Amino acid sequence: MSDHVLPIRSYLNVFFALMLLTALTTAAAFVDFGSFNDVIAMAIAGTKAGLVIAIFMHVKYQSPLIRIFAVAGFAWLLIFFVLILTDYQARLPVPGWGS
């Protein structure tokens, strides 16, 4: 197996992109987007996770089979998040019902 070596500039670009996304996450936490707060936070987190998986884990430069399994694992994670958030939303109290 040959290792793919990236220039340091690529790592620095990804690092600064991750820092920018972290600052964006922090800024978004202070703004009320209503029901979109969680959606925006998850979109930013998903983007950061995608950068880490593609560049730092070198999935971008691997064989198609490894890319398929990485995408499948990420897809399963998204499915579980959707199911958990759906269950959480179903358990929230409805105003005016009960005591």
Q: How far apart are CA 43 and CA 49, in angstroms?
A: 10
Task: Report yes or no on 71 lying in a domain.
Answer: yes
* Count of domains for the chain: 1
pTM: 0.73
Task: Return phi, psi of residue 57, to 5°.
Answer: -95, 0
Amino acid at 96: G
Domain boundaries, position 32: 8-90
Per-residue pLDDT of the chain (99 residues; tens, 9 = 90+): 557 788 899 999 999 999 999 999 999 999 999 888 988 998 999 899 999 988 988 888 889 999 999 989 989 988 998 899 888 888 888 787 765
Task: Report yes or no on 98 lying in a domain.
Answer: no
Task: Report yes or no on 95 lying in a domain.
Answer: no
